[in-house]
């Protein structure tokens, strides 16, 4: 608590100057409504192709965390170069350096000490989600009075110093209505004054393929005027249990009836099915047992890591370690319905997860955090499951403690939402041509 209080009340000449500046701007705001950018009604982003796949996108990230946008580029197989990145949390640096290629001299710890002028003209796309506790409904909601609330200004400063073709600023939904909308108005106006065409919209991760309710503001700034519209939602095909480590009974395993059908001599002779063979026929998405397609036989009934181009949602399934199961005492606490003045849901095993929090390691009650049952016992989500529910594939290396990983996952941006945005705007159009 003392550390948090210090972060909130921290003062320096620079922070004081920024606070005075934004307060003055808030008092001088014009009375105009800021309307969210509409959703695209054209071709679904799932079907869109990148026009310039051979271009290299030069990427700079601020408040980089565990590199959600970097992982999005990896998943899409896009050529990119990390020009700079940074985070004040030392454990984030451990995770980042274990998973991405970056030079030590291009990493910074405190954005307030980061001089980005040497990168001017050398970065195409800047991405960052400034600490959101100053505006979050689960935080103190002090806004610019919270020292962390002034960090958006540092994001704007780096944009000004580097002049990227596009930037993406992400934050909690509460930013839009904080201080009756004046906070967002100040931020929006500053971005426009930097010379950018600003678009923004609240997007929920469960509308873009990930079974987690997580609403965030995604603000894009374009150096040139554009008619960009945000990617349209898609039907959610997965439930939270599809991302868990101890569920073998998932949509990727055939039921007994289906196994008998696809392995029958008659169907194999007619080439309706190919087992452990080359792909010749593809099964249709909605077919359950009338399969005409290709299958892989796993003698140990365990899923293994797959080629993402084939299916990006097949995970390694194994028994969950004992340490993630709750003791009777802790289980009784998290499943308590609350007191007379405080009521909370006791529901577990949700189809769509509650928002993952950076404080998950503290194990709040079931109405706040996510819990699942397996073989009659209740457990918390594992760090790997949290990463999956943020869109990180199992190729992401975990090199920090569980506590640190919970914090890093809860602070991250959902990768799948970023993928939808990257496809919708066709990020390759803003890349650099290979000489």
Contact between residue 61 and residue 82 where contact means Cβ atoms under 8 Å apart: yes
Contact between residue 372 and residue 348 where contact means Cβ atoms under 8 Å apart: yes
Cα 91 to Cα 88: distance, rounded to the nearest angstrom? 9
Cα 421 to Cα 313: distance, rounded to the nearest angstrom? 20
Closest CA to 85 of 77, 71, 75, 76: 71
**Ramachandran class of 278: left when φ > 0, alpha when ψ lies in -120 to 50, beta otherwise:** beta
Cα 176 to Cα 213: distance, rounded to the nearest angstrom? 18
Closest CA to 33 of 239, 177, 149: 177
CA dihedral (289, 291, 297, 302) positive or negative: negative
- The yes-or-no answer on residue 92 being catalytic is no
Choosing from 132, 206, 219, 386, the catalytic residue is 132
Q: Identify each DSSP E strand in 352-395 by its residue range.
A: 371-374, 377-380
CB contact set of 265 (below 8 Å; sequence gap of 6+): none
Catalytic residues: 132
């Amino acid at each position: 608590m003392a550390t948090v209080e210090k972060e909130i009340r921290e003062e320096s000449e620079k922070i004081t100057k920024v606070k005075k500046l934004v307060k003055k701007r808030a008092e001088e705001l014009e009375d105009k409504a800021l309307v969210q950018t509409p959703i695209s009604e054209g071709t679904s982003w799932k079907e869109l192709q990148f026009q310039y796949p051979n271009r290299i996108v030069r990427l700079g990230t601020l408040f980089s965390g565990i590199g959600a946008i970097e992982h999005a580029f990896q998943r899409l197989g896009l050529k990119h170069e990390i020009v700079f990145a940074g985070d004040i949390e030392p454990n984030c640096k451990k995770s980042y350096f274990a998973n991405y290629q970056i030079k030590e001299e291009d990493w910074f710890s405190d954005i307030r000490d980061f001089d980005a002028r040497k990168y001017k003209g050398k970065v195409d796309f800047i991405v960052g989600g400034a600490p959101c506790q100053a505006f979050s409904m689960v935080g103190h909601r002090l806004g610019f009075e919270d020292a962390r609330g002034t960090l958006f200004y540092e994001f704007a400063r780096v944009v000004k110093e580097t002049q990227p073709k596009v930037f993406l600023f992400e934050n909690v939904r509460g930013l839009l209505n904080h201080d009756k909308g004046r906070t967002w108005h100040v931020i929006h106006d500053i971005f426009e004054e930097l010379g950018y065409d600003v678009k923004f919209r609240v997007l929920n991760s469960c509308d873009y393929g990930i079974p987690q309710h997580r609403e965030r503001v995604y603000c894009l700034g374009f150096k040139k005027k554009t008619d960009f519209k945000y990617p349209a939602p898609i039907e959610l095909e997965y439930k939270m249990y599809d991302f868990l480590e101890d569920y073998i009974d998932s949509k990727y395993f055939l039921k007994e009836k289906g196994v008998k059908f696809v392995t029958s001599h008659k169907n194999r002779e007619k080439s309706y099915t190919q087992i452990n063979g080359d792909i010749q026929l593809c099964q249709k998405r909605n077919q359950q047992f009338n399969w005409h397609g290709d299958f892989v036989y796993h003698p140990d009934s365990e899923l293994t890591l797959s080629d993402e181009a084939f299916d990006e949602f097949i995970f390694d399934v194994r028994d969950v370690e004992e340490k993630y199961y709750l003791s009777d005492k802790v289980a009784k606490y998290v499943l308590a319905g609350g007191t007379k003045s405080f009521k909370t849901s006791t529901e577990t095993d949700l189809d769509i997860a509650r928002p993952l929090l950076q404080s998950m390691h503290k194990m709040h009650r079931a109405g706040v955090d996510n819990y699942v049952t397996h073989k009659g016992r209740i457990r918390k989500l594992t760090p790997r499951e949290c990463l999956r529910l943020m869109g990180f594939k199992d190729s992401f290396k975990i090199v920090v403690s569980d506590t640190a990983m919970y914090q890093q996952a809860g602070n991250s941006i959902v990768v799948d939402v970023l993928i939808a945005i990257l496809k919708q705007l066709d990020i390759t159009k803003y890349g650099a041509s290979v000489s």
